[in-house]
Structure 1
Amino acid sequence: MKKILGLFSLIILIAARSAFAQETLQVILLVDRPLTADTYIYRVLDLALKNQIIPYSLEIQVVNASEPRRVRIVNSSPKNYIIALGNRKEQEEKLLPIYVPIQLGLGLGQRIMLTRAEVKEKLKKVKNIEDLTQFVFAQGLGWSDVKILRDAGFKVQTPAKPANIPKMIMYKRVDLYPRGLFEIDLEYERYAAEHPGLVIDDNIVLTYPQASFFYVRKNNHKLHDAIKDGMEKAYKSGQLQNLIMTDPVFSKALKEINLGERVRINIPAQNISKKSSEALKKHPFIFNKKKGKTINK
């Protein structure tokens, strides 16, 4: 009888462990504008989740709010929210970062300008940081770029709604709206119809050590560890870089933006953390890597 009871208890224990192991990790990507499942940010998160061991579901939730407000939502909710943000020390302290760069150091670290035609002509004469100080920049409220640009001596306006910036450019309240290498075409298409005077500068590129990371609630170690495990595996296998190389927007930008022909304005980022710097060095984009090959690091 005791053996039967013992066996029964063992079966219950195994079943309980199996049920626990199969518990679905319900992940919510928090964004400030609608996006689809074929958008890179969704695809890279889904790739990371596929490379870890816990069963998962992934959904998108749109909250039209400033970055500080979205950070508070992530940190105050018991849900498995995840958010993509730049490598700002304040955010790294408020939230729990996953230190694998979402775009492998590309994109956010190379900034191309949205502007208007008259300013585009003036930018042809720009050769250094001092030349750029005559212009007024715009960035969203709470964005990590703001401190970088201000530390470099630039005037920066920070409207709560970034969607208002193109209108501010047209009304001459600001001059330059730096966007990431992989954002610039999409941002232009998004605003050009309503603001036909908006143009993309083709003379300069701002560069600084910046990346975007996924962040979760400060004490959400289960979600953090799952995403980190998946991101690391996706990077080492080459899948993460392959995703960049085959993405229609990213591959087009790498071919057409002509980084080598632009005047490069290097801006030191004084606010970058040691962990962010180490993550950028550990997970670089390998320009001579062939599609489908692993990254030997």
Structure 2
Amino acid sequence: MVQSLGMPASVEIKKSSSVRWTRRSLLHLAGAGLALGGVGAARAQPGPTVVYPNLNGNGADNLGYRVLELALQRCGKPSTLQLHPMAVNDERARAMLRRGEVNVADFGSGAEFEKAFSAIYFPIDRGLLGYRISLIHHSLEPEFTRVNTLTQLQRFRAGQGIGWSNNAIMQAAGIAVVTGPTLESLFPMLEAKRFDFLPLGLNEVYGFSEQYGDFAPSMVVDPRMLLVYRFARLFYVRPDSHELHAMVLSGLKRAFADGSFQKLLASDPSVRRALQRAKLAQRATITLDNPLITEAFMGIPDEYYFKPSEFK
């Protein structure tokens, strides 16, 4: 158990950034009371045990994990944070949340997800998922330099993952969508020209282009186009997790009020890289409507979102 500096002594965080779990690591987790079939295991410490999924195999390096860690530190109540060892995509994480194998997960906003789970209405990416920059095959660069309007973009096919909220947003805008079963699968599909562009969140595009570059050696970041719509990444818990919902939301609000949330996000390598490299002011901006937006989501205070003036 590792205690973070500056956090209450009663709050303990179990963290590992490695996705290569050794037998010793798994035995250690089992000894600590993490039953991989569910989160209702015996607890060595007071307060709830919070189990977070290992999204895309990035473990504790995921922005969601680190924001959750901060929120639990700031909420004023004891808890234990654990990382589930199995690498999963967003769709699998949602299934694990439904079954109770994890009790908090984060993914994009959307009416279907907000109905199925109890959404915590705080944009943990400050809305950066709603600023979309595309990965394209380098052979299409000349064509994409001439895209200035939605009508022109509708000639091309977007790649997205199965179950992503963005699918409905793209389709409602008249853009054909080709889906892949996992995030990783989209990159060889892009290389094979199964679709024409892969729009990703501003805080995702540069990191994923490097992480999965070997699967798509012909892939480049589109230097010119920017898609914008109201969207964000939220935490979700099970509908009966009232205490955990209150703890996380309280911690997020306190972290925003004291500036530690903004500091964490600004120091995140993927966010910092994006703000330095995206050159948003020089891009052709295409604004899309979000048909999945809910009244509750629209009630999120504007102060929690990035402002254009913050894009340097």
User: Normalized against structure 1, the TM-score is what?
Assistant: 0.84
How far apart are 1:66 and its partner, in Å? 5.3
**Larger relative contact order (CA 8 Å, sep ≥ 6):** 1
What is the percentage of aligned positions where both structures have the same residue?
Answer: 29
CA positional deviation for 1:286? 5.3
Contact 2:190–2:216 under 8 Å retained in 1: no
Separation in 1 of the partners of 2:80 and 2:248?
A: 13
CA distance in 2, matches of 1:134, 1:42: 38
Contact 1:66 1:160 in 2 (8 A): no
Matched, 1:133 2:154: yes
Q: Which moved further from structure 2: 279-288 or 226-235?
A: 279-288
Identify the match of residue 94 of structure 1 among 110, 116, 119: 116
Gaps of 5+ in 1: 1-21, 290-297
Q: What does residue 32 of structure 1 align with?
A: 55
Give 1:170 shift. Answer: 1.4
1:61/1:155 CA distance change after superposition, 3 Å = same
Looking at structure 2, the residues matched to 151 and 62 of structure 1 have their Cα atoms a distance apart, in angstroms, of: 37
Contact preservation (8 Å) 1:63, 1:70: no
AA aligned opposite 1:81: N
Matched, 1:240 2:231: no
**Which residue of 2 is the match for residue 202 of structure 1?**
223
Matches within 5 A, 1:264-279: 264-279=285-300
Distance in 2 of aligned mates of 1:205 and 1:62: 35
Deviation at 1:153, TM superposition (A): 0.3
Moved more, 237-246 or 280-289: 280-289
How far apart in 2 are the matches of 1:213 and 1:170? 31
1:113 maps to 2:134: yes
Give the aligned residue type for 1:216.
Answer: V
Residue matched to 2:65: 42
* Runs of 4+ residues deviating >6 angstroms: none
Bigger Rg over Cα: 1
Tell me how far 1:67 sits from its aligned partner: 3.6
Offset of residue 75 of structure 1: 2.0
Which among 182, 187, 193 is matched to residue 166 of structure 1? 187
Q: What is the TM-score with the length of structure 2 in the denominator?
A: 0.80
Say what the alpha-carbon RMSD is for the aligned residues. 2.0
SS at match of 1:199: strand
Question: For residues 301 and 111 of structure 2, what CA distance do their matches in structure 1 show?
Answer: 15
Paired with 2:109 and 2:153, the residues of 1 have a C-alpha distance of 24
Residues 89-98 or 186-195, more deviating: 186-195
Contact (CA 8 Å) 1:101, 1:280: kept in 2 or not? Answer: no
The secondary structure found in structure 2 opposite 1:202 is coil
Shift in Å, 1:28: 0.9
Structure 1 residue 217: deviation in Å?
Answer: 0.8
- Residue in structure 2 matching 1:59, options 70, 79, 82: 82
- 2:121 matches 1:84: no
Q: Distance in 2 between matches of 1:202 and 1:29?
A: 35
1:94-131 alpha-carbon deviations (Å, 9 max, x no partner): 001110100111x2010011110121221000010010
AA aligned to 2:125 is Q
